[in-house]
Amino acid sequence: MNGILKSHGGFMAFSFLLLAFYACTERELHGIRPLDTGISIRTSWGDIVHGDAETLEFHFYPADGSTPIVESAVPSGGFEGKLPVGKYKVLAFNSETANVETVDMDSYEKAAVIAKSVVTVRSGENMRLAEPGPVYAFRGEIEVVEGALSVYTVMADPLTQDIGMQVTNNTDLAIVSVRCDFPGIVLGRYLSRTRDKEPYHQESMGIYPAEAAFNNRIAEIGFRSFGVFSPAVSGLSETPIVLTLKLDDGRTIETEVAGFGKLLDEAVGDREFSAGLKLDIELKLAADGTGDIFVGIGIQGWKDYDGDGMPDKIGRNGKEILY
């Protein structure tokens, strides 16, 4: 009888160990990491649709200045894990977005995301930029306490917005497309700073080459960027926007918005830069006395863009000016 009890007790102990191992394996397979100590950082996206940001990259900067801790491919819902006890500043962003690269990520203050350049240029020259994908940043300060679970929430901050132009062909010319080299583009953004703070810049600025076809006499040129500098900062007061118009017979016409800097200065005002603007342009035929084709430009004005890349309901309408 005693022998049977001992054998039965051994079987029960073995069963308990097997069930415990099975439960642990199941939790790992489903990615469940229940924490009673450590850190939980939840991301709040507000009304931002972020299907293009499935994962985030987290950078933890220790208060003692030691090497940052990096966690990659973190689900967009947030980070859960273990960190050494102490205080940290945190940066997170969607690092897998298109046409961007990072600089100075070892420094919380200097860490930045910048648009890739299309061509290599010397320092001090304007860079031709690729259009960046949408970039969302998170930032905050946390403390990991020994033996406790610390829970934080960080808010999404979109660092990119849209710039656009609507060009209307009110001439008798059969214009099929328009190209614009848009100057004064901000190269990138510091991850630790909100959109109303100083953007990332070096000696050079960006030029974005945008192109669009005409449909029913209207061409919509739009591109994503990290913002555009005001003329006061960029020296663009006398810099024109050059439009290259392609006709259906293969000819091209170049025309320019000579007062672009003044218009931009009016739109941006006393802000250092603006992240989202839209310019309405009307093309008109004008006589220049030489018999050559001359296209004048009527400016309908700027409109500010809001965070979702759509024009605000209350737009900025300027006076029509013929150049």
In three-state form (DSSP H/G/I as H, E/B as E, the rest C), the secondary structure along 112-173 is EEEECECCCCCCCCCEEECCCCCCEEEEEEEEECCCCEEEEEEECEECCEEEEEEEEECCCC
Helix, strand or coil, per DSSP, at residue 2: helix
The three-point CA angle 236-242-246 to 5° equals 165
Residue 103 has pLDDT above 90, yes or no: yes
pLDDT value of position 210: 84
Rounded to an integer, what is the distance from CA 49 to the centroid of its chain? 13
Band of the pLDDT at 255, cuts 50, 70, 90? confident
pLDDT value of position 65: 95
308 vs 26, residue with greater confidence: 308
pLDDT value of position 262: 66
Write out pLDDT tens, residues 177-222.
999 877 778 889 999 998 667 778 655 677 778 899 999 989 988 8
Sketch out the chain's domains with CATH numbers. 38-158 (2.60.40), 161-304 (2.60.40.2890)
Task: Supply the pTM of this predicted model.
Answer: 0.72
Residues forming beta bridges with residue 80, ordered by sequence position: 40
pLDDT value of position 97: 94
- Lowest mean pLDDT of 36-45, 254-263, 265-274, 299-308, name the range: 299-308
Say if residues 294 and 288 touch (Cβ distance below 8 Å): yes
Residue 67 has pLDDT above 90, yes or no: yes
What is the spatial distance between Cα 176 and Cα 161, in angstroms, rounded to a whole number? 27
Query: Count of CB atoms within 10 A of residue 7's CB?
Result: 10
Q: How many residues does the chain have?
A: 323
Residue 285 has pLDDT above 50, yes or no: yes
Band of the pLDDT at 20, cuts 50, 70, 90? very low
- Would strands 112-115 and 100-103 be described as parallel, antiparallel, or unpaired? antiparallel
pLDDT value of position 254: 84
Write out pLDDT tens, residues 263-277.
666 666 555 555 566
- In order of 200, 242, 296, the CA distances from 260 in angstroms are 23, 10, 14
Residue 175 has pLDDT above 60, yes or no: yes
Band of the pLDDT at 79, cuts 50, 70, 90? very high
pLDDT value of position 117: 83
What is the spatial distance between Cα 73 and Cα 69, in angstroms, rounded to a whole number? 14
What sign has the CA pseudo-torsion 152, 137, 52, 103?
negative
Write out pLDDT tens, residues 105-150.
999 999 999 999 876 554 456 678 888 999 999 999 999 999 999 9
